[in-house]
């Protein structure tokens, strides 16, 4: 075991020491840094410049029962979260989310976030899908917002406050490995290994506490609202270290992605009164969800849209989309509250939303599953055992506060509530813990991987492989799934794993070698697509974002439990059955028993 002082360079590897090391500079990572930074030496490592993180793409709002516009309370918010998640939500976590939402909003306001205001000067609120008053009786205005740029405003506000606190950032450093060391019979995190994009050099960051806040992995799908960088690196690293992943079969498909592109049009549009229509001009959601219509939870709306298209009521030359209609709204309202949405429609589709309905289609949007944690944001090595000093928050984590279907506006809330908790608990641990000594040459595995990829004479183009994976996932594992379709995609992944051994990296250089990093990211995408599909095959029911046409009903008797996936062998084996073991974990139920989801 070795202990290198901060700044030591050995064999070209630079060593850093920080009390708290945060991987990811999106909303969750920076919210954690704001808590940890003033109390301990904190470093934030990000593969992007922080204000380019994907939190900035979130548009519609952040939920909190402020009751600024109409009557509301945190218990109704909890119920909506549990019901929206089709009762797979851990209800103790949902209660924390709803209770602490109010302080989370005021924290951001006090940091300087420019929320929209009511005429009286209070934070304005609008409707959003699945949010109701009095336990489901009618829609409620609960989403706090800054036009349709809420995520952008949150990201900028958090970054400015990190700068104010003097947080140390390492931008464009790709974390590729977590260093785990056995201490007293238990695996403990000692640090992370990162690749510096600008130079190709490796860095080891030793930390007493490690926080993962690396976001989602939507690029396993072709049609997605996720940015090109959302390849699940953090989740994949945890998976390869032998730690479990939870509820990976549950992926949310947002109803309103721009047709053919997947670029998101926020639910805020429907919150302001936009209507979904089929090719006949019918407001079809009235048939499926007569109470809250277009503001039903996202999984329900996405399936209704897909059903309309399947039954021949889609629009366009191939009848493969439906329409989002805001033509009945006043242009002044559109410009004030939905400026980005309308600009996207004009820019990418050439549609004028003032006068024309916008073609939309469900798009892969959000992972409900991920790295299992408890409500303290501590990572778990099984159903209950905490990995000391290891934390996760945001989309990469599974608390589980979203269950099988995340409620709209709860993602920006999640990163603030549990990002704050991760930061507080990580710094509390770090203030009394010692550094776990690093093993000799902790960067050896990554150095060998990078060298192998840089010198490989492979012939398989990674772009072709990535395209084949994403198209197969779209075709076989999207809104509707069957056993046959899921088996088909497992065969595709097995073939791609074999081809990946012969992957071609054309750029042999060190500086800004994105070609090499995309090859590494493809490995993570293959891992995460495989565990997603394998978990989906196991769950022989339909619940939330996971809809099995061969098992169309929810089965509480057999599947009212979380799926826990474990890597048991070689992650690069061609057969998932050789290296994936599935187990279950009980759902925490406090006050709301499962009932039929009627809207």
Residues forming CATH 3.90.700.10 domain(s) in the chain: 255-362
464: number of Cβ within 10 Å: 12
Residues forming CATH 1.20.58.100 domain(s) in the chain: 443-586
Give the residue among 270, 314, 328 at the shortest CA–CA distance from 296.
270
Q: Counting beta carbons within 10 angstroms of the beta carbon of residue 229, is it exposed (0 to 12), middle (13 to 18) or buried (19 or more)?
A: middle
Instruction: Enter the tokens of residue 420.
Output: 């704050």
Per-residue pLDDT tens digits of the chain, which is 599 residues long: 567 787 788 888 999 999 999 999 999 999 999 999 999 999 999 999 999 999 988 888 999 999 999 999 999 999 999 999 999 999 999 999 999 999 999 999 999 999 999 999 999 999 988 899 999 888 999 999 998 899 999 999 999 999 999 999 999 999 999 999 999 888 999 999 999 999 999 999 999 999 999 999 999 999 999 999 999 999 999 999 999 999 999 999 999 999 988 888 888 888 889 999 999 999 999 999 998 899 888 889 999 999 999 999 999 898 989 999 999 989 888 888 888 888 889 999 999 999 999 999 999 999 999 999 999 999 999 999 999 999 999 999 999 999 999 999 999 999 999 999 999 999 999 999 999 999 999 999 999 999 999 988 889 999 999 999 999 999 999 999 999 999 999 999 999 999 999 999 999 999 999 999 999 999 999 999 999 999 999 999 999 999 999 999 999 999 999 999 999 876 555 455 578 999 999 999 999 999 887 77
b or e along 465-500 (b: 16 or more beta carbons within 10 Å of the residue's beta carbon)? bbebbbebbbebbbbbbeeebbeebbebbeebbebb
3-state helix, strand, coil in the chain (%, to 5): 35, 25, 40
510: number of Cβ within 10 Å: 16
Q: Which of 127, 298, 303, 543 is catalytic?
A: 298
365 known ligand binder: yes
52 known ligand binder: yes
Q: Which sign does the torsion angle of CA 489, 586, 413, 148 carry?
A: positive
Mapping DSSP to helix (H, G, I), strand (E, B) and coil, where does residue 331 land?
helix
C-alpha torsion 349→351→356→359, nearest 10: 0
83 known ligand binder: no
Residues forming CATH 3.50.50.60 domain(s) in the chain: 9-250+366-431
CA distance 307 to 581: 34
SS (H, E, C) 67-78: CCCCCCCHHHHH
Mapping DSSP to helix (H, G, I), strand (E, B) and coil, where does residue 261 land?
coil
CATH architecture of 443-586: Up-down Bundle (1.20)
β-bridge mates for residue 168, sequence order: 43
Backbone angles phi, psi at 333, to 5 degrees: -65, -45
50 known ligand binder: yes
CATH 3.50.50.60 for the 9-250+366-431 domain, yes or no:
yes
Q: Which string of DSSP letters, residue by residue, matches 518-570?
A: HHHHHHHHHHHHHHHHHHHHH--S-BTTB-BTTB-S--HHHH-EEEEEEE-S-
CATH 3.40.50.720 for the 255-362 domain, yes or no:
no
Q: Which sign does the torsion angle of CA 480, 485, 491, 496 carry?
A: negative
Verify whether residue 298 is a known catalytic residue. yes
456 known ligand binder: no
Backbone angles phi, psi at 207, to 5 degrees: -140, 150
Q: Are the C-beta atoms of 534 and 490 separated by less than 8 Å? A: yes
Which residue, chain included where needed, has tokens 């095959």? Answer: 537
404 known ligand binder: no
Predicted model pTM: 0.94
CA distances from 68 to 113, 116, 149, 296 (A): 17, 12, 20, 23
395 known ligand binder: yes
262 known ligand binder: no
């Amino acid at each position: 075991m070795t202990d290198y002082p901060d700044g030591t360079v050995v064999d070209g590897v630079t060593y850093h020491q920080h009390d708290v090391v945060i991987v990811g500079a999106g909303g969750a990572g920076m919210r954690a840094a704001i808590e940890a930074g003033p109390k301990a030496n904190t470093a934030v490592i990000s593969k992007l410049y922080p204000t380019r993180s994907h939190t900035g793409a979130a548009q519609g709002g952040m939920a909190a029962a402020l009751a600024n516009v109409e009557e509301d309370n945190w218990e109704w918010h909890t119920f909506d979260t549990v019901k929206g998640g089709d009762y797979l939500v851990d209800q103790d976590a949902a209660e924390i989310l709803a209770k602490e939402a109010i302080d989370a909003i005021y924290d951001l306001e006090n940091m300087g976030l420019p929320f929209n205001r009511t005429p009286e000067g209070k934070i304005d609120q609008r409707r959003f899908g699945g949010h109701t008053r009095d336990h489901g009786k009618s829609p409620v205005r609960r989403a706090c917002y800054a036009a349709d740029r809420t995520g952008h405003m949150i990201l900028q506000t958090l970054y400015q406050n990190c700068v104010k606190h003097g947080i140390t950032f390492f931008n464009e450093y790709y974390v590729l490995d977590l260093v785990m060391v056995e201490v007293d019979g238990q695996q403990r995190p000692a640090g992370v290994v990162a690749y510096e994009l600008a130079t190709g050099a490796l860095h080891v960051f030793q930390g007493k506490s490690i926080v993962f806040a690396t976001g989602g992995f939507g690029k396993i799908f072709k049609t997605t609202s996720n940015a090109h960088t959302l390849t699940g690196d953090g989740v994949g690293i945890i998976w390869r270290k032998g730690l479990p992943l939870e509820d990976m079969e549950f992926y949310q498909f947002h109803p309103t992605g721009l047709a053919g592109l997947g670029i998101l049009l926020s639910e805020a549009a429907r919150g302001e009164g936009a209507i979904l229509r089929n090719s006949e001009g019918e407001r079809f959601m009235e048939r499926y969800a007569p109470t809250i219509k277009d503001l039903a939870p996202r999984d329900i709306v996405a399936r209704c849209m897909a059903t309309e298209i399947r039954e021949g009521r889609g629009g366009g030359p191939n009848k493969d989309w439906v329409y989002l209609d805001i033509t009945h709204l006043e242009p002044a309202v559109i410009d004030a509250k939905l400026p980005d949405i309308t600009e996207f429609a004009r820019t990418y589709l050439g549609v004028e939303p003032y006068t024309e309905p916008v073609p939309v289609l469900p798009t892969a949007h959000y992972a409900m599953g991920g790295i299992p944690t408890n409500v303290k944001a501590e990572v778990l090595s099984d159903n209950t055992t905490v990995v000391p000093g290891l934390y996760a928050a945001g989309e990469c984590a599974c608390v589980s506060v979203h269950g099988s279907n995340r409620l709209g506006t709860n993602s920006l809330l999640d990163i603030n509530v549990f990002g704050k908790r991760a930061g507080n608990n990580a710094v509390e641990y770090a203030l009394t813990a010692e550094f776990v000594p690093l093993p000799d040459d902790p960067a050896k595995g990554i150095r060998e991987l990078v060298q192998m990829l840089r010198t490989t004479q492979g012939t398989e183009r990674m772009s072709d492989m990535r395209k084949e994976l994403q198209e197969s996932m779209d075709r076989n594992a999207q809104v509707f799934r069957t056993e046959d379709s899921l088996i088909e995609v497992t065969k595709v992944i097995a073939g791609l794993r074999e081809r990946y051994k012969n992957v071609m990296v054309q750029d042999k250089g060190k500086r800004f070698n994105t070609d090499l990093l995309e090859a590494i990211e493809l490995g993570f995408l293959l891992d995460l697509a495989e565990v997603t599909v394998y978990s989906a095959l196991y769950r022989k029911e339909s619940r939330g974002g996971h809809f099995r046409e061969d098992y169309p009903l929810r089965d509480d008797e057999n599947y009212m439990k979380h799926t826990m996936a474990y890597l048991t062998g070689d992650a690069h084996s061609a057969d998932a059955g050789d290296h994936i073991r599935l187990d279950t974990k009980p759902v925490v139920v406090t006050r709301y028993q499962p009932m039929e989801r009627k809207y």
